[in-house]
Structure 1
Amino acid sequence: MVLNYDGVVRGSVAKQVADSIREAIMDGRLKMDERLPTEEELARRFGISRPTVREALKRLAAQNLIQSKRGPSGGTFVMRPDPAGLSGTITAAATLLVGVGAFDIDEIITARRETEAICCRLAAANRKEEELAAMEAEITLQSDSATSDEEFCASDVRFHRALVRASRNGPLELMMYTVIEAFIPITNMIVVRMRERQQIVSLHRDMLDAVRRSDAPAAITALERLLDYLRAMYNATLTARAARSAS
């Protein structure tokens, strides 16, 4: 392990120490699952107090970069990146940005059209039976009239999550978390009353069937039809809201 123990100045010392360790993790000087020195050792090497070290470690733990383990073989270890954990921060930020109007519907639809099209193409080539089965299960749930609006929206997210998994590309899956976990729920929340479920189900079926037969162009076409429909429903919803407000 190689850490730069020099250069810590007064100010937010805990933040500086956390940043130093974070840089060592990000550039590979600290390896995954490597044990960090003890609090006492870190305090001595950085020339700071143990409470300050403790605060720095809390910052790193909050970023899902380290974790503590108890027992004889315990200590503080560099974590293996967890896409689901990392997505929490990304999704929260994206949801906030959408909520305050930083992104409009055209930007969101364009982002989905371009990125999910890549997923369709890779899924058509790489999909396994487990992803096809997961998508099929969500279509079955969506087709059930007893499914609540909330359950339908959650199923919609899971359907597209399975499509992304079917791409079998880890970096792409991480990149798609914002789209799947933030953009889709926000759009669903707005169009839920206006959209026709059967239309969504039909387009999901077209996407699944195309991926199953490894027909990437057909899968992308179905995706584009789905996004065009959602854009239309989004605009119709906003128009209806404006009319109610005016009256």
Structure 2
Amino acid sequence: MDQETEFDTAAAVTRSMLGWGVVAGPFYLVVGLVLALTRDGFDFSRHPLSVLMLGDLGWMQTANLALSGLMVLVAGVGMARAHARGTGIAVGIYGVAMMASAVFPPDPMPGFPPGQDGATTPGTSGILHLAFGGVGFVSLAVAALLLGGWFARRGEGRAAVWSRVAGVVVLVGFVGGVALGPSGMAGLWLAVVVGFAWLLLASLRLYRTVPHPEVARR
């Protein structure tokens, strides 16, 4: 095949997969925020987006979580194909954990669904939801730390720093948020927002390392 018309399908697929890492976070947050603003009883200072899985319209947040998790999983495969194997595996685990969390709704929280006055006894579904969430956030933090090392080995000191800082923030935010309960909700929000921001930036950065699919444009 002539070099002027040669097309690298593998590079095109990898770039496409990494593109989902850019889309996943904004998609999840925008859909989640729209639902949060339109569902009675939701309080940003006391509730995580996951409680929107409860109630008559809970299927919308369930679908949001599952679809976003699938996007994250695809992005993880793309990262592994872009030679950041450890990071890609960890991101893939995060995506699988998100989809698993979508299968098991959380327990009701005070104030949500509307009419819920107090905390309930933890149920099996709620425990599994929290467990998968823990696996997911720890995996995401590990992914950021691993990518920080990958950047450092390439001599990209600034990128290594922001990736590692993001990993620490995600881990501390999640652990602190769970440990403090409703009063630690800011930590959970921080972990979610920083985690998806890292995924977006990391996907963009790795996208640039993949050769252009059209060989003549390399």
TM-score, normalisation: structure 1:
0.33
Higher alpha-carbon Rg: 1
TM-score, normalisation: structure 2:
0.37
Higher relative contact order (CA 8 A, sep 6+): 2
